[in-house]
Amino acid sequence: METAIITLEQRELENGPDGIRVEGYTELLTYYLLQDELCNAKFLWKRVPSNMKQNAEIDAVWNVGKRLWTKDMPGFYEAASAFQWSAPIAPIMNQLKETVREKTIRLIGRAYSSIKPQDIATMLGITLPEVETLVNSRAWKVVDGMIEPTECVSEDVPISSSEEQIGKLTDYVAFLEN
């Protein structure tokens, strides 16, 4: 993904809007959204020439971006599902939907000690039966019709060896002593 972004950015820098063309802009915009680079996405939209903004797909992508900017979750899922994405955009968009959903699930775990099932459904853009499956898969408790989510433990903690840590400490002490 990184290389794809750099290639597209270079194409724009070398030949301007004519070099990257509207397809390239659409792809780059979707990548920025996926990377959670909302500011870059916003300014990309600002610099797209107005005749290219007529293109239905780039307009639809930015519509999705706007919802992310305002943190309008139901609107986001609606906008992301409403458009028939073309072949290059569809996989990125699906990935985007998944990333956003996963992030929201983590946020719910972090921010709520109890929450209505309906609210989870709106925040994730899913139906109530789907909420039930989610609750079961995450082993969240249900008490009196309210869901009590638990925090997701962040995995992938790289544990550095104690030798490495001692090495770093030695460096710091050596620096302070001199």
Partner 1 sequence: MMLMISSIDSYIQAVTNVPAVLQNKDFLENLHPRYTEVLSRCNSVAGGASPSPNTPIDVAINTLLETGVNNETGVNKHTIGVVGLLCAKTKTNEFNTNFESFLVQFSGFMETCDWAHMRVVANVVSEIAAAITDQMIRRNQPILGINLLGNLATRLQAHEKMLTCVHSCVLQLCCASYNFKAALRFIIDDFEEFTPDVKGSDNSQSLLCYLYYSGMIYTALKRYDRAIYFFEACTRVPAITLSHIMLECYKKHILVCLIEHGEVATPHKSASQVVNRLLKPNALAYTELATAFNVSSDSLSNCIAKHVDTYRRDQTYGLVKQVRIAHMRVLIRKLTRTFLTLSLEDVGRRAVGGEADNPERIVLSMIQENMIYAKINQRDGMVRFLDSIVDLNTNHRVMELLEAKINSCVELNKRVGIMNDRISTNPEFISKVVLDSATGVQDGEQAGGSGGSGGGNQQISSSAKFQTRGSTSSNSNVAGAFNL
Rg for the chain, CA atoms, rounded: 22
Tell me how crowded residue 105 is: count the other CB atoms within 10 A of its CB.
18
At closest approach, how far in Å is the CB of 126 from partner 1?
18
At closest approach, how far in Å is the CB of 175 from partner 1?
5
C-beta closer to partner 1: residue 87 or 159: 159
At closest approach, how far in Å is the CB of 42 from partner 1?
9
C-beta closer to partner 1: residue 60 or 108: 108
- CA 15 to CA 53: how far, in whole Å? 18
At closest approach, how far in Å is the CB of 157 from partner 1?
5
CA distances from 169 to 58, 166, 172 (A): 51, 5, 5
C-beta closer to partner 1: residue 73 or 126: 73
Rounded to 5°, the CA angle 133-138-142 comes to: 70
* Residues in the chain, total: 178
- CA 22 to CA 61: how far, in whole Å? 12
C-beta closer to partner 1: residue 19 or 88: 19
Interface residues toward partner 1, by CB under 8 A: 9, 12-17, 37, 39-40, 43-44, 46-47, 71, 107, 110-116, 119, 144, 146, 157-159, 168, 171-172, 175
